[in-house]
Amino acid sequence: MTSTFDFRPASRSEVPFLDLVTPHLELKEELVEVFRSALKTAGFIGGPMVEGFEDDFAKFCATNHCIGVGSGTDALRFALIAAGIGPGDIVVTVPNTFIATTEAISQLGAIPDFVDVLESTCNMDPEKLRQYLEDRCVEKSGRLYHREKDRPVAGVVPVHLYGRPVDMDPILDLARKYNLIVIEDACQAHGAEYFSKRENTWKRAGSMGVAAAFSFYPGKNLGACGEAGAVTTDDPALAARVRMLRDHGQAKKYYHDVEGWNGRLDAIQAGILQVKLKRLPEWNKKRSECAALYTELLGNVRGVTVPSVSSNVRPAWHLYVIQTDRRDALQKHLADSGVATGLHYPVPLHLQNSYRAMNLGTGSFPAAEAAASRILSLPMGPTLKKFQVERVSELIRRFF
Ligand SMILES: *Cc1c(COP(=O)(O)O)cnc(C)c1O
């Protein structure tokens, strides 16, 4: 598998999409110490490093429980199953997410379906969700059924895309009204915050749904040195089910209450994450400063739409994504000047070959489709320098 990232640290002339080398070099001694202590006890699976990280990350997300698992994809599957989503249930999400969101739904035998996003944020449009639930579904014996599919609608997975929180209040209101399970896909949103009018307080991503899934893929705001993920929740019973599922459905070794699989977080990754979590607030602050500078320098460029940030969100700035009608030409212009950019994501899920059977053609989700052709992710990361943001912005200004 090739890496999606450009691992080179910053140089004067080239701007990498994400510099993963520098943060690890800065923490090298502490990271090596994690290996040393794991070697001393050969405690590679479970144990105090996993529990320590779980405690720390639960605190960070302001949730009662965190369960470390093998990846963000595992976290989504465990959260959905443990929350009670089962085979044949419809789970509604958005088409412009990473495929792991819908894979997790399909793999447990449930049926993914989509509602469109807001053009301004690329996040789930609560009004579109309301229309879906009111116009396309009907209540039958206390449950909400999709009229055409004749299957119960059981859950919603809002995705905090690019680290920008979804407008959760109206979605949680609809979920309460129709008895839907809300699982947040917080895989891009470590530390993002949303002001909840319902609760009159700022809420961390991962603390708003029944449960949430996080990924610690190396390129995420908090990344392991390998694969890792976590489920966060306030529900002790749900947490206990995830703990069991991640370990082959056993609470006691070789006594299996249910079938699960091996979806554990290993001790070395947990120890590494514990070290890196201490730096996350500072890293997120750096990202936010870079985002503010991009917005200052690009906000008045004709032809460019900078990410909108309403006063009720504090994004984690996993990605800084602009929109323009001349996306492909701009991307080439930047690449020719040594600036690496990305597309998140080039093809909405309903138009992917893997979902051809859904029969959702072009035009099904106009906002998600328009975004796919206009989005461009600019270099972003905790070690991105001011001069690099200025250089990228200047190249963009000159292009327009
Ligand atoms: C990264 C990501 C995932 C999957 O996480 P993995 O750790 O790679 O399995 C799921 N959803 C979204 C939105 C992501 O960005």
Question: In angstroms, what CA-CA distances link 118 with 24, 36, 125, 253?
Answer: 36, 48, 5, 47
Helix (H) or strand (E) holding 372: helix 366-374
Query: Cα(213)–Cα(155) distance, rounded to whole angstroms?
Result: 14
Q: Residue 142 has what pLDDT? A: 85
Query: Cα(235)–Cα(117) distance, rounded to whole angstroms?
Result: 29
Helix (H) or strand (E) holding 51: helix 48-61
Residue 229 Cβ contacting ligand 1 at under 6 Å: yes
Show the 3-state SS of 96-123: CCCCHHHHHHHHCCCEEEECCECCCCCC
Q: Residue 349 has what pLDDT? A: 98
Q: How many CB atoms neighbour CB 306 within 10 A? A: 19
Interval 37-47 mean pLDDT: 93
Question: 């009004």: which residue's tokens?
Answer: 127
Interval 195-201 mean pLDDT: 96
Q: Residue 290 has what pLDDT? A: 98
Residue 185 Cβ contacting ligand 1 at under 6 Å: yes
Environment class of 15 (CB within 10 Å of its CB; exposed 0-12, middle 13-18, buried 19+): buried
In this structure, the residue with its CA closest to atom 4 of ligand 1 is: 72
For the chain, give the mean pLDDT: 96
Query: Cα(383)–Cα(132) distance, rounded to whole angstroms?
Result: 42
Residue 178 Cβ contacting ligand 1 at under 6 Å: no
Please report the atom of ligand 1 found closest to the CA of residue 159: 13
How confident is the model over 223-254, as pLDDT tens digits?
999 999 999 999 999 999 999 999 999 999 99
Query: Cα(169)–Cα(152) distance, rounded to whole angstroms?
Result: 23
Residue 319 Cβ contacting ligand 1 at under 6 Å: no
Residue 377 Cβ contacting ligand 1 at under 6 Å: no
- Residues 57, 85, 93, 262: is their CA dihedral positive or negative? positive
If one residue of 98, 166, 264 were mutated to test the ligand 1 pocket, choosing by the most ligand atoms within 8 A of its CB, it would be 98
In this structure, the residue with its CA closest to atom 5 of ligand 1 is: 72
How confident is the model over 287-341, as pLDDT tens digits?
999 999 999 999 999 999 999 999 999 999 999 999 999 999 999 999 999 999 9
If one residue of 105, 159, 217, 266 were mutated to test the ligand 1 pocket, choosing by the most ligand atoms within 8 A of its CB, it would be 217
Question: In angstroms, what CA-CA distances link 364 with 85, 154, 297, 348, 350?
Answer: 26, 22, 35, 11, 8
- Give residue 143 CA to ligand 1 midpoint distance, Å: 30
- Give residue 122 CA to ligand 1 midpoint distance, Å: 17
In this structure, the residue with its CA closest to atom 7 of ligand 1 is: 72
**Residue of 74, 71, 68 whose CA lies nearest to 239:** 68
Please report the atom of ligand 1 found closest to the CA of residue 97: 13
Collapse the DSSP code of 239 into the 3-class scheme (helix H, G, I; strand E, B; otherwise coil) and give the result.
helix
**Max intra-chain CA distance, the chain:** 65
Q: Residue 1 has what pLDDT? A: 45
C-alpha dihedral, 362 to 367 to 368 to 373, nearest 10°: 80
Q: At what angle do helices 72-83 and 100-107 cross, to 10 degrees?
A: 40
Please report the atom of ligand 1 found closest to the CA of residue 104: 10
Residue 193 Cβ contacting ligand 1 at under 6 Å: no
Domains of the chain by range and CATH?
26-277 (3.40.640.10), 279-399 (3.90.1150.10)
Interval 184-208 mean pLDDT: 98
Contact 235, 40 (CB under 8 A): no
Question: Is 4 a residue whose pLDDT tops 60?
Answer: no
**Residue of 215, 133, 217, 227 whose CA lies nearest to 171:** 133
Query: Cα(400)–Cα(377) distance, rounded to whole angstroms?
Result: 17
pLDDT-derived band of residue 10, with 50, 70 and 90 as boundaries?
low
Environment class of 233 (CB within 10 Å of its CB; exposed 0-12, middle 13-18, buried 19+): buried
**Residue of 335, 323, 308 whose CA lies nearest to 392:** 335
Query: Cα(158)–Cα(164) distance, rounded to whole angstroms?
Result: 11
> What is this structure's pTM?
0.96
Percent of the chain with pLDDT over 90: 96
Q: Residue 13 has what pLDDT? A: 72
- Give residue 227 CA to ligand 1 midpoint distance, Å: 10
**Residue of 162, 359, 390, 358 whose CA lies nearest to 290:** 390
Please report the atom of ligand 1 found closest to the CA of residue 73: 9
Residue 341 Cβ contacting ligand 1 at under 6 Å: no
- Give residue 187 CA to ligand 1 midpoint distance, Å: 5
- Give residue 239 CA to ligand 1 midpoint distance, Å: 20
Please report the atom of ligand 1 found closest to the CA of residue 229: 7
**Residue of 398, 351, 393 whose CA lies nearest to 372:** 351
